[in-house]
A and B are shown apart, each in its own frame.
Chain A
Amino acid sequence: MSNVPHPGIASVELDEFQYDNRIVRNFAIATILFGLIGMLVGLLAAFQLVFPDLNMDIPYLTFSRIRPLHTNAVIFAFVGNGFFTGLYYSAPRVLRTPMWSPVLSRFHFWAWQFIILAAAITLPMGLTTSKEYAELEWPIDIAIAVVWVSALINLIMTTINRRTEHIYAAVWFYLASFVTVALLHVVNSVALPISLFKSYSVYAGVQDALVQWWYGHNAVAFFLTTPYLGLMYYFLPKAANRPIYSYRLSIVHFWALIFLYIWAGPHHLLYTALPEWAQTLGTVFSVMLIAPSWGGMINGLMTLRGAWDKVREDIVLKFFVVAITAYGMATFEGPMLSFKNVNAIAHYTDWIVAHVHVGALGWNGFLTFGLLYWLFPRLYNRPLYSQKAATFHFWIGTLGILFYTIPMYWAGWVQSSMWKEFTQEGLLKYPNFLETVTQLAPLYFLRSVGGTLYIIGFVVMIYNLWMTALTGKLVASETAKAMPLNAIWHAPKNEYWHRRLFERKPLALTIFALVAVAIGGMVEMIPTFMIKSNVPTIASVKPYTPLELQGRDIYVREGCYVCHTQMIRPFRSEIERYGEYSKSGEFIYDHPHQWGSKRTGPDLHRVGGKYPDSWHYNHMEDPVTMSPGSIMPRYPWLLEDDLDTTTTGAKIRAMQTLGVPYAKDYDKLANADLHRQSKEIQARLKQSGIKASENKEIIALIAYLQRMGTDIKAEK
């Protein structure tokens, strides 16, 4: 393809077209609104860990239900809308063409906000799959897929209609993000529904964990990282009025990044029951990932070569510099955490929470703020209302990040050390898990202070941008002129539509990116699913009883996995504290797995038989009665609400479909077994002086808790 213009180029008419700023403004407002809400929910959650009474005995506000609300809001509502704000501004301008379909653009906006609303309603109600960052149930998943694919089509068609031959770097990152998130979302969300808002993951145990964290890590990669790298590639040069440091580097690190990132998923599963070869792949690729990640950071920071004095004057550049630095820090720390020896210390602790928030508050937050401060003056045709307020935001936000992350690093280290410490005699120094929690209270308080500072900055930004919009005038659309691509690059006359659609760069680029990202997942998942020796069968492991299955669904609904793990690692300290380490064969009937990723409370994998039924009854009603000083919320509604046994048959049938070996027609007999077992529990409770009705939800939960981890004892 030659760049030589067609003869007679001087007489070619320039196309005139409009860039739509309304859609950008709409996404910006959504970003700000949901950012505030998502962060406030996070602040509530943070304070609940310091003052458990803030759970207020209200199911919809309990920590374990609102934590996923916080994560979904800040990831999909705040960062998601932030990405779209920057996308709908930058993509038309670098491609020199308006978005292909204004209808799809508006559909994207409204449908995305409706999805967020659906999340805000369903998650506090406990309608959750319990798969992290994929908690939304199947109808919402379908809606997400529809919106996502339609936005991808809009972007691809816009790229095909472009008036520049070259597709600028930012757009590669956007395309790769769309295509990979689509793949991740669809594969991870495959589930068998039994009702409108209840479904079961088709994967179980180890395989489910692998698919979940292939997804989970790549939600970080392709939702939190690549879209924002795309934004960086546009907004940083614009703000600094400097070209990107090395375009060649951007090409190389793009392909390296999207290829390597996918493989890193297993670094969330180190020292778990995931087969070791998969763990090693996760570690190795995570370490290799430093190179392309830092390629992005270097390209960003070095763009400011010779322009560092601008950073002193320009608030936008200040936010961008901190954002890119935080990106560099997080993408160095991540690979370090992927080393098994480091991970053995950090996993399940607040160190991971600190790591997440360096990236979230620093990279995603600050880049969004810089972007908004750059954008609003241009959208409203007036300078930013207050430089002073923006500067204040910068400093208090930075302070907030420090107050958040430093206490969390401290907390992670302290708690991990306490978990692992032995006395001279070879016994655990802190056998009571609770001791390790109460130690963290002041640090949890400081973290809440950090979050408060960060939000104060955010609110100041809202005021600043609001005043800018109020006193300015919206530039609803901008006119632009450019030569049509055909005049610059000679396209064959009367080209067939399918050639134009399928054989041009945007589609080739998208498909190659899809191939690059598909490889890692296939290499890790195909052997895990197909080679039986990865998950050795344990003869004594049997399916859950109907009552236990119901209880497990209550565990899922209440979000117990948010604070409790079910994965004992093969460390002496864990075997001493919790019992025999967890074997992969024990989880084969767990749809979905409940391994968890954080121990705010103790691991529960072998809690079965550790305490009498009455202990669990009292503990769920008010944890403090059994564990003085506990920060666990109360769950009194479990003692009052009736168990819905009309779903038992459907649940058994669903499990059978997924391969769990219940006897044929067992779904018809299941409730009889259920009642028999619940009466036994009722009788045991009565012996301890507790008068409980056998059809309450707490009975089912007790049945599940008492079953956990007991299958392999039977072998001995």
Chain B
Amino acid sequence: MTAFYVMIIASLLIALGFLAAFMWSVKKGHYDDDYTPAVRILLDDHEILTTKTIKQKSDQKTL
């Protein structure tokens, strides 16, 4: 029976931990730009990247 109490408390702690991690990641801006990483890998063939070109490309939402 003690196993129940241990497991329930542990599960709650783990779940709260994951929730905290998620909220931290949102606050830290992990989800702020979820577009450019996907696009950037398409651009690297034979191209020299500068901040200027990155900004130019991310402004064009359509490819």
Contacts and interface: CB of A to CB of B under 8 A. Distances in A.
B44 A241 contact: no
A166 B44 CA distance: 15
Contacts of B50: 14, 483
Contacts of A482: 48-49
A459 interface: no
Contact of B41 (A234, A259, A480, A512): A234
Contacts of A531: 3
Given A93-B44, A241-B42, A166 B37 contact: yes
Contact of B42 (A169, A243, A246, A251): A243
B56 interface: no
A238 B51 contact: no
Contacts of A247: 34-35, 37-38
A519 B14 contact: yes
A563 to B, nearest CB: 38
A481 B48 contact: yes
A5 interface: yes
Contacts of A94: 41, 44
Nearest to A259: B18
Interface string A169-212: 10000000000000000000000000000000000000000000
Interface in B36-63: 36-42, 44, 48-51, 63
Interface in A94-118: 94, 96
Contact of A96 (B3, B37, B44, B51): B44
A480 B48 CA distance: 7
A85 interface: no
Nearest to A303: B38
B42 A237 contact: yes
B12 interface: no
Nearest to B40: A164
A690 to B, nearest CB: 53
A409 interface: no
A238 B14 contact: no
A383 interface: no
A480 B42 contact: no
A9 interface: yes
Contacts of B21: 512
B40 to A, nearest CB: 7
Interface in A483-508: 483, 488
B34 A488 contact: no
A9 B51 contact: yes
Given A14-B48, A519-B14, A251 B41 contact: no
A96 B49 CA distance: 10
A5 B41 CA distance: 21
For the side of the interface on A, what is the size category?
20 to 34
Contacts of B51: 5, 9, 483, 488
Contacts of A259: 18
A10 to B, nearest CB: 8
A427 interface: no
A248 interface: yes
A20 to B, nearest CB: 16
B10 A523 contact: yes
A251 B35 CA distance: 12
A60 interface: no
B30 interface: yes
Nearest to A170: B41
Nearest to A482: B49
Given A523-B10, A531-B3, A168 B42 contact: no
A259 B17 CA distance: 13
A366 B36 CA distance: 29
A527 B2 CA distance: 11
A336 to B, nearest CB: 26
B44 A480 contact: yes
A259 B38 CA distance: 24
Nearest to A378: B45
Contact of B63 (A166, A243, A251, A523): A243
A249 to B, nearest CB: 9
Nearest to A248: B34
B39 A243 contact: yes
Contacts of A237: 38, 41-42
A244 interface: yes
Contacts of B23: none
A242 B49 contact: no
A704 to B, nearest CB: 36
Most chain A CB within 10 A, of B3, B18, B30, B50, is at B50
Contacts of B44: 93-94, 96, 480
Interface in A222-243: 234, 237-238, 241-243
Nearest to B28: A1
Interface string A504-532: 00000000100000010001000100010
Contacts of B33: 166
B18 to A, nearest CB: 8
Interface string A151-173: 00000000000001010110000
Contacts of A512: 21
A169 B41 CA distance: 11
B31 interface: yes
B30 A244 contact: no
A94 B42 CA distance: 10
Contacts of A481: 48-49
Given A247-B35, A248-B34, A488-B51, A527 B3 contact: yes
B55 to A, nearest CB: 10
Contacts of B7: 523, 527
A246 B49 CA distance: 24
A96 B31 CA distance: 22
A307 B38 CA distance: 16
B3 A251 contact: no
A326 to B, nearest CB: 24
Given A14-B48, A241-B42, A248 B37 contact: no
Interface of A: 5, 9, 14, 93-94, 96, 164, 166, 168-169, 234, 237-238, 241-244, 246-248, 251, 259, 480-483, 488, 512, 519, 523, 527, 531
Interface of B: 3, 7, 10, 14, 18, 21, 30-31, 33-42, 44, 48-51, 63
4 pairs of A and B residues whose beta carbons are closest in the complex = A243-B38, A247-B34, A244-B38, A248-B34
9 contacts: A14-B48, A243-B41, A247-B35, A251-B34, A483-B49, A519-B14, A527-B3, A527-B7, A531-B3
Given A259-B18, A480-B44, 4 more contacts: A94-B41, A242-B63, A243-B39, A243-B42
